[in-house]
Structures are given as structure tokens and as C-alpha cells.
Amino acid sequence: MKKKIVISILTVLIVVGGIFVVRGFTQTGVTALDDSFTREFLDEDVEVGDGFYFYEARNGKYTMWFPEDFYISDDPSLFSSSEHFENLEIYQNGKDDSGLERTIQVIYDGNNYENDKQFRLNSLLEDFSSSGEINTEEVDGNTIYYGSSYIEMNGKERVVNDEDQKWSNRYYALVSNHNESKLLEIRYRLYCEDEESCAKNQENELLLFNNLIKNVKFF
């Protein structure tokens, strides 16, 4: 009887150990690939820029570049996808070495409602701009409306500055196809421990944001 119990325990340990060995071999060390939900949307065979993977929306309506250090939340309250709408909440695994925590929200809108573009632009400006102005650029048939700002709390008051800020902790854009029937809203937020950590990597943050907004293709 004791011999059977020992054999059973050994069998369980071998099976469990094998599972962990397989997991160890399949882990890549890349956040986007090691998250099983995020990996469903990525095509590693399509060449894109360093530090990114090719992302295809679940509804098939758009593609973009996806940053390798991020993952998509699979929480049903944060992820949704349908024929004319998709919402992604994208995160890093905690703070990086400089004390920065980053999140990205991506919203696809293909409802083609009247004044839809203006409504989304107004929403972005209300949330992230004090001047009410936004930049515009044409890229590969898309029109990109974009800006950045620095947001901080002064007591209980939320203070937005996009006129003379030295650095930014919010980047925002609305990407529209040629006839404004398909829109992609992108909100990139940085949460800094202090001003120094926010200012430290501004060039890299802007590069990441530009790669997000300039490599969108609608279908």
C-alpha cells in the first residue's frame, strides 16, 4: 500500500514538474508574447519596427504596431470588440526602473455617426488640453489629430498645461480614415513618481507614441 502511495506521489511530481519545465521553455521574456491573451492578436511573421509587434484587431477592422513591453487586459469590463467598436486597455507590468508607469487606451469607432469625429476630438481636448488646439498630419491616407500635455494635481484641482510645458505625461490622438467613417482614438498616459522621472525619457515616449499613431491601417 505504501509503495503504491509513493509511486502515485512521484507520478504527480513528475507531471507537475514537466508542466513547469514546458512553461519555462515557452516563456520569451517579452511581455506581449508571454501574455496568452495579448499574443492572440499578434502576428510575429509581419515585420515592423524594433520593439513592436504587428497587431490585428479582433473585429478585423484595423491593424497597428503593438509595443512589446505591454499587454492587453482580458478583463471583460476593460476589453470589448464588435463589428463597429473595440476598446483596449493596455498596461505595463508595474513601474519601470525610472519610476514610470504607463497605460494606453485604444478605442476603435466604425459606427460612422454624424459628427462622431468632432465629438471624439472635443472629448480629447476637454480631457487633455488647456489651449483647445490640436496638431494635424496626413500619413498614408489617414488624418492624425494629436497633442500632448502635462497634467498634475494642485490640491483637489486637476491642472492641465499644453501651452508651455517642458515635458508631457499625456499623449493623445485621433486617427481618421479618408472619409472619416473609421476612427481610432489613442490615449497614452504616464504616471510619474516625480517630475524628473517624467522628464527623463521624453524622447522615447514620443517615439513610442508616434509609432502607435502613424502605423494604423483601416480595413
Looking only at Cα atoms, what is the longest distance across the chain? 80
Residue 8 binned pLDDT confidence (cut-offs 50, 70, 90): low
pLDDT of res. 24: 45
Query: pLDDT tens digit string along 70-119?
Result: 999 999 999 999 999 999 999 998 887 777 899 999 999 999 888 899 99
The model carries a pTM of 0.85
35-218 CATH: 3.40.1000.10
Amino acid at 33: L
CA angle 21, 26, 31 (to 5 degrees): 125
Q: Where are the domains of the chain?
A: 1-33, 35-218
132's torsion region: left (phi>0), alpha (psi -120 to 50) or beta? Answer: left
Please report which helix (H) or strand (E) contains residue 208, including its range: helix 202-213
Percent with pLDDT over 70 in the chain: 88
Residue 133, pLDDT > 80, answer yes
Sheet hosting strand 52-56, strand order edge to edge: 42-43, 52-56, 62-67, 217-218
Query: pLDDT tens digit string along 158-185?
Result: 889 887 777 899 999 999 999 999 999 9
Radius of gyration of the chain (CA): 21
